[in-house]
Amino acid sequence: MIQRKSSQENLQAIERAIRCAALTGCPTLEDVARTLRVSPRSLQRFLMENDTTFSRIVERYKRQTAFQLLLREEISISEIAARVGYTDTSNFGRAFRKWTGQSPRKWRENLSGDLNCCSANRRIRD
């Protein structure tokens, strides 16, 4: 897998494998390597050669997924935390503050306010 494609295609395949592994729990390097039919060491080496790590890619997946889920107000913060792989909501909150500088609840409130403002502006212009 890793040798025959471009680096970008390989990184995308790794990201897809991480997304699939995340559906059944927290993705591990070993699980993803097995899915891609490479050894864990080969996968690590490939990632190092491309200036990234497995944990960075998993973190990016968690961050992107959290942002997408926070757009859906019907999903609670604790459910989002669980869906992105955090067993404790407070750990998710700490990670989210590291990513954005604010809590998930505050980020959602700010986004909701921005969306209401945009829709109000749109109604005024119409």
Domain at 78, CATH number:
1.10.10.60
- For residue 126, the model assigns a pLDDT of 47
What is the radius of gyration, based on Cα positions, of the chain? Answer: 18
**Secondary structure class of 5 (helix, strand, coil):** coil
| Same domain (yes/no): 69, 123 | yes
- For residue 102, the model assigns a pLDDT of 96
- What averages of pLDDT result for each successive group of 10 residues across the chain (126 residues)? 75 92 87 94 95 95 95 95 92 96 95 61 46
Within-domain flag for 94:
yes
Q: At what angle do helices 7-22 and 29-36 cross, to 10 degrees?
A: 120
- For residue 2, the model assigns a pLDDT of 62
- For residue 70, the model assigns a pLDDT of 96
- For residue 106, the model assigns a pLDDT of 96
| Same domain (yes/no): 70, 43 | no
Number of compact structural domains in the chain = 2
Within-domain flag for 58:
no
Q: Which residue segment(s) compose the domain that 29 sits in?
A: 1-52
Residue written as tokens 């891609």?
36
- For residue 120, the model assigns a pLDDT of 45
- For residue 115, the model assigns a pLDDT of 59
